[in-house]
Amino acid sequence: MDLNVSPHPNISSLGRNRRLLKNHETFTFWIQLSADIGVVFFALYLLTLIRTGDFDAHYRFLAVITGLSMCGIYITQGIYRQAASHVKNIFRLALAWCLCIIAILVVGFVTKTTDMFSRQVILLWVPAAFALQVINHVCIGMAIKRYKETFGKHLKVVVIGEGSIARHLIQSLNGNRWLPDRVVGIVRGNTDKPDLAMTATFPVPMLGHIAGIRHIIKEYKVRRIYIALPVDQSEQIQGLHIDLLDMNVDVIWAPDISAMRLLNHSVREVAGVPLISLNESPLTSSRVSMKMKSIMDRVVAILALLGLSPLLICVAIAVKRSSPGPVFFKQERTGFDGAVFKVWKFRSMKMHVDEEVVKQATREDPRITPIGSFIRKTSIDELPQLFNVVTGSMSLVGPRPHAVSHNNYYSDKINAYLARHRIKPGITGLAQISGYRGETETIEKMEKRVEFDLLYINNWSIWLDIKILIKTPLSLFSKNIY
């Protein structure tokens, strides 16, 4: 009888019914969540009884909505990440509690029930509930720490790999007082001789080569193995997994992709299948946040144009009188997704014949006018780009747009150079406030600028934009601007 048995039952038979990515919530997680919800309910119940003498139905409804909000928001905000310190947890808790209150206010506004609650009760309840949660976290954290120190059992762990991920993994595991894992050593995964300089920086000794892993497990009584091999050695993982099935050890894979040039990388899932994004634009991965960035850009740009209009008019008159030619200089630059647009600047040079490869301004450049020298050093010449921001071709913060000829020149000389176009170009950026403004007369300087641009894309947030905007005026005193 043909049973149509698949040679890979773990994929074909179970793949649709079993998720590859599963949440492993600990017992302490549910204790902490239940305790937080409990003290919030208790504070609301007690204050309501004292103020009104009864715990009416609308207050019970408020308690339920609050509990549901906490379940969703606290988990997504990582409130119960046990590796975090008390200070970091309290900061996360404050943010998450504020989000819960906002969610409750939205529900009250939509249902038109805000007038049913005592303002005195709510104003006392919000800070009191937060204070009780802080006490909760500190007390439960201390209790769990004391319990694990007294009764907890450590698991002996080895890490297979010698790269940066392996080192980071060892430091994180051995430095985490919540986890039972204790790394006793590393195991070399490649067939070459070990890099003694590299392994000397590891906080644990090297125990041997992957070929002797079974002997190492028995000798050191290892209970868990972390595989942190680089991508080019990934073919060993399948064989290692099969070889260790009968060894009664946990095998955990920590993919080492650190050697790859990543762009806005992340991990997520679709229908239970894990997906690792190696190269993704923030516009794709976070549409809501990028919409907020776009709104902030336009609002700030319009306000800046209104506030700086007297300065803009004075500079325009000075530029017009400095030498023959237009007030504004427009040049084709490469923007988001490789689209070409015209960037606006105050003209700072005398009119000259365009060159095939645009020559960057240099010290004592004869093409620069006297007023042009001043507005270039103070970056006033960049202010007309606020119009580019309003029209949507640029952002306030982002990688600086380069001339099309520069992109053609550097694209085949610098690795991942064109990846900087995965986000809108900006008037200022992380590279500019880090000292990489002005002329990039060497490949090394341009490489450093690109490195900061990619760092910005990988770590983008609204708050990062705000910090860059605040620091930008301080960067205007650079001596490298001509």
Domain ranges of the chain: 27-151, 155-259, 287-475
Query: What is the per-residue pLDDT for 178?
Result: 63
CATH classification code of 155-259: 3.40.50.720
pLDDT at residue 182 in the model: 85
| Contact call for residues 423 and 461 (beta carbons, < 8 A) | no
Region 174-198 average pLDDT: 72
Mean pLDDT lowest among 20-34, 339-353, 442-456: 20-34
| Closest among 194, 253, 254, 185 to 221, alpha carbons compared | 185
pLDDT at 477 over 70: no
Closest residue by Cα to residue 136 from 40, 26, 27, 24: 40
Question: Would you say 187 and 158 are in contact if contact means Cβ atoms under 8 Å apart?
Answer: yes
The string of pLDDT tens digits covering residues 23-49 is 444 667 788 889 999 999 999 999 999
Residues with Cβ within 8 Å of 417's Cβ and at least 6 positions away in sequence, in order, are 407, 410, 411, 450
Averaged pLDDT, 360-366: 60
**Residue 361 confidence (pLDDT) above 60:** no
pTM score of the predicted model: 0.53
- How far apart (Å, rounded) are the C-alpha atoms in residues 279 and 257? 12
Coil, helix or strand for 225?
strand
Name 445's Cβ contacts closer than 8 Å, sequence gap at least 6. 436
**Smallest Cα–Cα separation from 158: which of 199, 102, 210, 91?**
210
Tokens, residue 152: 């907890």
> Are the C-beta atoms of 276 and 257 separated by less than 8 Å?
yes
Does pLDDT of 56 surpass 80?
yes
**What is the C-alpha to C-alpha distance for residues 329 and 349, in angstroms, rounded to an integer?**
9
The answer to whether the Cα torsion of 220, 224, 226, 227 is positive or negative is positive
Q: Does residue 4 have a pLDDT over 50? A: no
Interior angle at CA 193, CA 187 and CA 194, nearest 5: 45
Cα–Cα distance for residue pair 387/343, rounded to 1 Å: 9
Question: 332: exposed, middle or buried (C-beta count within 10 Å: 0-12, 13-18, 19+)?
Answer: middle
Amino acid 151: pLDDT: 64
387-441: pLDDT as tens digits: 999 999 999 999 988 888 878 888 778 877 877 887 889 999 998 888 877 666 6
Mean of all residue pLDDT scores within the chain: 79
> For residue 196, what pLDDT is reported?
59
CA 359 to chain centre: 36
Half-sphere exposure of 142 (CA within 13 A, CB side): 5
Range with lowest mean pLDDT among 117-126, 134-143, 188-197, 201-210: 188-197
Contact 449, 416 (CB under 8 A): no
Does the pLDDT of residue 197 top 60, yes or no? no
pLDDT, tens only, 229-267:
877 776 777 778 888 887 888 888 887 766 566 666 666
pLDDT for 306 equals 93
Ordered alpha helix ranges (H), 308-442: 309-322, 370-377, 385-391, 404-410, 430-433
pLDDT confidence of residue 17: 43
What pLDDT was estimated at residue 20? 47
**Contact call for residues 296 and 201 (beta carbons, < 8 A):** no
Measured CA to CA, the distance from residue 340 to residue 79 in angstroms comes to: 44
The average pLDDT across 48-77 equals: 87
Higher-confidence residue: 311 or 423? Answer: 311
Q: One-letter amino acid identity for 463? A: W
CA distances from 474 to 99, 348, 465 (A): 34, 22, 15
Please say whether the beta carbons of 13 and 60 come within 8 A: no
